[in-house]
Amino acid sequence: MGKIKKSIDTQDLLKEAFKAREAAHAPYSRFKVGAALLCDDGSVFTGCNVENASYGLTVCAERVTVFKAVSEGRKKFAALAVVADTPEPVQPCGACLQVLAEFSPKMDLMLIMGGRKGKLKSCRLNQLLPGAFRLKRGRH
């Protein structure tokens, strides 16, 4: 895979995602997910999924990372790594893809997906969500 941007290695970003996965709160599904988001300035934000007994209130790891970054003033992203304890790489759900699209106007965010057996899959956001929903800003 090589380097992504800002001297961060793909493997390092995946390691951060696996580390974040350890903190997941998934008592219902037992499906723990971790994510690491590389910002354009080189900073990295991590997150894990947080489940709730009222399933609709559960938040995916990918959205946790985006919300943490945005709450710290970052809105330009270079890559997102997402991992789970699955044999094959796991990809973000549709809701997470739509949230990522909000911060990737050109839909060129690099997504790196990994599973426990070391298999990787990478692609650009536009490959998984070619028809992202868009609103013109300032118009209602």
CATH class of 3-127: alpha beta
pTM, rounded to two decimals: 0.91
- Active-site hit among 16, 51, 62, 72: 62
- What percent of the chain shows pLDDT beyond 90? 86
Q: Match 């899959």 to its residue by tokens.
A: 121
- pLDDT for residue 37 is more than 80: yes
Cβ neighbours of residue 131 closer than 8 Å, sequence gap 6 or more: none
Q: How far apart are CA 67 and CA 119, in angstroms?
A: 27
Distance CA 72, CA 98 (A): 20
Please report where in the chains the tokens 């044999």 appear, as a residue. Answer: 87
- What whole-number distance in Å separates Cα of residue 129 and Cα of residue 55? 24
62 catalytic residue (yes or no): yes
